Amino acid sequence: MGLTRRDFLTKVTVGIAGLPLVRGTSFAQIKAKLGYMKIVDNASLFMAAEKGFFKKEGLELDIVPMVGGAAIAPAVASGDLQIGWSNVISIYQAHVEGFDFKLITGGATNIKGKNDTHAILVLKDSPIRTAKDLVGKTIAVNTLNNIVQLFVMAWLEKNGANPAKVKFVEIPFPQMEA
């Protein structure tokens, strides 16, 4: 059985909490900006900040909301952010463009069929019920040509719909509920 997201986040939080046990007696206060997306995967960032875990380790974090990995990766590369929470597709795309990042930890994991957080949502009274019903429709994704769009395109194709016949528009996660 694989590691669930909840187990992973719990272990990361416990690991962060245990850092005082391994640090030296004195250290410099470090200030850093961390870019993140407003999604449930990042709840542990706020829990750790609220519990004072970062401060206890001498890290003063400015946690900055951003639209997605496609915006976060260039911000880290330019120095506007020192740390970024991103998806693997954005990191790969940045690597292909010549950016060199150091990966410091996994942020969230999805195990096939377990605790998946992706969904295609429609109104209760919508006639859309299958992938084929989305042909000719518009789907919102947080960033174009990135992980969410690729997931949806793969799902459409797997379920008998042509992804080329679906329009994708970019809308940040917080505005999607509108």
Judgement on whether residues 152 and 81 belong to the same structural domain of the protein: no
Do the strands 83-84 and 30-36 form a parallel or antiparallel pair, or are they unpaired? parallel
Judgement on whether residues 9 and 86 belong to the same structural domain of the protein: yes
Residue 24 belongs to a domain with what CATH number? Answer: 3.40.190.10
Task: Say what the pLDDT of residue 29 is.
Answer: 83
DSSP SS3 for 60 = strand
Q: Which of 51, 39, 38 is nearest to 12 (CA)?
A: 51
Contact in structure between 65 and 83 (CB atoms under 8 Å): no
Q: How many domains does the chain have?
A: 2
- E strand intervals along the chain: 30-36, 59-65, 83-84, 138-141, 167-170
Task: Say what the pLDDT of residue 21 is.
Answer: 47
Tokens, residue 165: 């016949």
Domain contains 51: yes
Characterize 92-108 residue by residue with b for buried, 16 or more Cβ atoms within 10 angstroms of its Cβ, and e for exposed. Answer: ebbeeeeeeeeeeeebb
Range of the domain at 162: 131-175
Point out the residues of the chain with pLDDT beneath 70: 1-28, 106-117, 177-178
